[in-house]
């Protein structure tokens, strides 16, 4: 029962007690009729079995009942004498319209003609996406309408891969509401349609891909060079984006935006390449350039695979620095993704709440979360915000979320399993191009995480993870691959020798992170590319064989800061 209905029941009980105390007239044949009830409205006007109806009017009295057509509604409760709540009963049929009648126990009644239409449920999104995916046992949120305020006969049905269905488990009553359902992908589910069934029919389905944890062995790294960037860069951003082409085939792209060369002047270039079946890159090609040069910005992609957007989705380039040695900006640019991977023109959308560079940014269920970063004069901040994305790619206003435990910039920010993770970073106001490692006094080894409320999207309290990275580091990359956090390069102790270049830790089911272990071996970024990197770009993705990969693109040289790199390596 929803909190609102609980409140209604409490109010109704209080009303009943008050009526009993004030009116002790006998019942039965000698009962006196009170004034006839009036009815003003019934809401909602459409629904299914288990939908909670609110009937408003006057002169409702204790013991009142509600009927929907010829069917008596269940759990009728009063809130004062002007509102009655009742659940639509079994028996109503989809696409049929019913009158709603309220009857007092003294025989007085009122009817609103054709006040309610029974309809089949509507399924809009699963995990805020129209092309959702998830592992067996992973949490999913079903969004739509007319599911019913209580589950009743309702079910969420996944494909069993053989033409049948598997019903998902609804763990508790509050996980089923009229507009969303929280459940998990059931054991035995296979890739195929997912739908919602209620007492009035079954919704249209969405295609759901049942995934497995991608194979990833971070303890045996073997870096391989692939197509180099068109130009040497650092402070740039890379984004992995899957796009369905005109035939429905999913093509995997990587986009690289902005950054600066050896002159440290921000560029506006955007380049794109297709990820091949083995995880390597095809040839780079130019995409629509940003309206202005940009470095140390952040980029996310909203597509039907992770959000509610229509079409192929949108790229967002946020914040960053537009001029050499300049101050950060609040500007957010958006470009439409086309089904051939090309980009539309960039336009300005809702700006950031403060000028920022080197902050964290992720997209989770049609919302962008940003955290920390450096603001004016490179001062680090602890602020966290969220903005939602509508179906047309527009951003809402930025809403404040709980601050990080302390201000930090130059960290990496990831999301996995409904949690946010901030890994490492720096608490000092340092220049973004500074390649000096100044010890542990300002650089961080900590990992912090917070759970996202799956219903509201709000961020919970931040937790400092018990285990830390082996070394404090900043201006690094930390990616989620195969259920692990994989950390590469950056500024850290002994970076000039390649020691501890890569490390990894398992993400636990409760959101915490296990102990970090070395993942370097003899095959290092330094041994393959000849450089110790910082301020590079990085992405994680899965190839056609279900193998998880990480890719490192460009970056600056710890041993010779200002000597930018074009090399691209993947594992």
Q: How far apart are CA 55 and CA 71, in angstroms?
A: 16
Q: Which of 253, 73, 64, 259 is nearest to 149 (CA)?
A: 73
**Region(s) of the chain under CATH 2.60.40.10:** 3-24+33-118, 122-211
Q: Residue 117 is encoded by which pair of tokens?
A: 């239409």
pTM over 0.85: no
pLDDT 10s digit of each residue in the chain, 571 long?
433 443 433 333 233 223 223 333 334 445 568 899 998 999 999 999 999 999 999 999 999 999 999 999 987 899 999 999 999 999 999 999 999 999 999 999 999 999 999 999 999 999 888 888 888 888 889 999 999 999 999 999 999 999 999 999 999 998 999 989 999 999 999 999 999 999 999 999 999 988 876 677 777 788 999 999 999 999 999 999 999 999 989 999 999 999 999 999 999 999 999 999 888 999 999 999 999 999 999 999 999 999 999 999 999 999 999 999 999 999 999 999 999 999 999 999 999 999 999 999 999 989 999 999 999 999 999 999 999 999 999 999 999 999 999 999 999 999 998 899 999 999 999 999 998 876 557 999 999 999 999 888 999 999 999 999 999 999 999 999 878 899 999 999 876 555 578 999 999 989 999 999 887 667 788 888 888 999 999 999 887 777 788 999 999 999 899 999 999 999 9
Q: How far apart are CA 158 and CA 192, in angstroms?
A: 7
DSSP string, 465-483: -SS--SS--BS-EEEEETT
Architecture of domain 122-211: Sandwich (2.60)
Q: How far apart are CA 36 and CA 56, in angstroms?
A: 14
Cα 409 → chain centroid: 22
Q: Residue 168 is encoded by which pair of tokens?
A: 């998902």
CA distances from 370 to 139, 257, 365, 415, 423 (A): 23, 18, 14, 11, 14
**Region(s) of the chain under CATH 2.120.10.80:** 224-570
CATH topology of domain 3-24+33-118: Immunoglobulin-like (2.60.40)
Q: How far apart are CA 51 and CA 525, in angstroms?
A: 59
12, 86 Cβ separation under 8 angstroms: no
52, 85 Cβ separation under 8 angstroms: yes
Q: Which residue bears the tokens 């109503």?
A: 92
Q: How far apart are CA 486 and CA 506, in angstroms?
A: 9
Structural Rg of the chain based on CA atoms: 28
Instruction: Decide: residue 169, CB within 10 A, 0-12 exposed, 13-18 middle, 19+ buried.
Output: exposed
Return the SS3 of 377. helix
Q: Which residue bears the tokens 């009815």?
A: 39
Architecture of domain 224-570: 6 Propeller (2.120)
Q: Give the pairing type, strands 46-47 and 109-118.
A: parallel
Q: Which of 337, 332, 378 is nearest to 357 (CA)?
A: 378
């Amino acid at each position: 029962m929803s909190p609102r209905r609980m409140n209604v029941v409490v109010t109704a009980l209080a009303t009943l007690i008050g009526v009993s105390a004030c009116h002790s007239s006998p019942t039965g044949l000698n009962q006196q009729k009170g004034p006839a009830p009036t009815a003003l409205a019934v809401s909602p006007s459409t629904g299914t079995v288990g939908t909670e109806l609110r009937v408003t009017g006057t002169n409702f009295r204790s013991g009142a009942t509600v009927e929907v057509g010829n069917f008596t509604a269940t759990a009728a409760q009063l809130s004062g004498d002007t509102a009655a709540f009742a659940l639509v009963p079994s028996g109503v049929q989809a696409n049929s319209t019913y009158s709603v009648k309220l009857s007092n126990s003294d025989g007085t009644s009122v009817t609103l003609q054709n006040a309610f239409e029974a309809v089949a449920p509507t399924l809009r999104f699963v995990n805020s996406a129209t092309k959702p995916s998830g592992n067996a046992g992973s949490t999913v949120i079903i969004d739509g309408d007319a599911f019913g305020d209580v589950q009743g006969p309702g079910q969420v049905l996944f494909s069993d891969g053989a033409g049948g269905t598997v019903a998902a488990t609804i763990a508790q009553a509050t996980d089923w509401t009229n507009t969303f359902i929280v459940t998990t992908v059931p054991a035995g589910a296979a890739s195929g349609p997912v739908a919602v069934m209620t007492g009035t029919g079954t919704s249209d389905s969405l295609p759901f891909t049942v995934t497995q944890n991608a194979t990833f062995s971070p303890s045996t790294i073997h870096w391989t060079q692939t197509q180099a960037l068109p130009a040497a860069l650092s402070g740039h951003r890379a984004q992995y984006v899957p796009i369905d082409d005109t035939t429905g085939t999913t093509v995997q792209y990587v986009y690289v935006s902005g950054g600066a060369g050896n002159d440290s002047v921000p560029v506006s270039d955007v380049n794109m390449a297709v990820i091949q079946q083995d995880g390597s890159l095809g040839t780079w090609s130019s995409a629509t350039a940003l309206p202005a040069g940009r470095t140390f910005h952040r980029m996310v992609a909203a597509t039907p695979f992770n959000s509610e957007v229509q079409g192929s989705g949108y790229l967002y380039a946020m914040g960053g620095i537009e001029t050499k040695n300049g101050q950060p900006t609040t500007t957010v640019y958006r470009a439409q993704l086309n089904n051939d991977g090309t980009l539309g023109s960039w336009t300005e959308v809702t700006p950031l709440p403060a000028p920022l560079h080197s902050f964290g940014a992720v997209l989770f269920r049609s919302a962008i979360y940003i955290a920390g970063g450096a603001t004016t004069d490179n001062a680090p901040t602890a602020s966290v915000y969220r903005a939602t994305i509508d179906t047309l790619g527009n951003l809402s206003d930025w809403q404040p979320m709980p601050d990080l435990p302390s201000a930090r910039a130059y960290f990496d920010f990831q999301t996995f399993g409904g949690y946010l993770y901030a890994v490492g970073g720096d608490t000092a106001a340092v220049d973004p191009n500074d390649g000096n490692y100044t010890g542990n006094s300002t650089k961080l080894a900590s990992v912090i995480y917070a759970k996202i409320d799956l219903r509201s999207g709000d961020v919970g309290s931040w937790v400092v993870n018990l285990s830390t990275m082996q070394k404090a580091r900043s201006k690094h990359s930390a990616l989620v691959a195969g259920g692990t956090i994989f950390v590469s390069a950056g500024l850290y102790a002994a970076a000039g020798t390649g020691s501890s270049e890569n490390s990894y830790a398992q993400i636990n089911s409760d959101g915490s992170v296990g102990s970090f272990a070395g993942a370097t071996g003899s095959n290092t970024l330094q041994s393959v590319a000849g450089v110790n990197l910082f301020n590079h770009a990085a992405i994680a993705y899965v190839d056609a064989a279900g193998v998880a990969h990480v890719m490192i693109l460009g970056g600056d040289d710890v041993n010779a800061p200002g000597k930018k790199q074009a090399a691209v390596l993947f594992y």
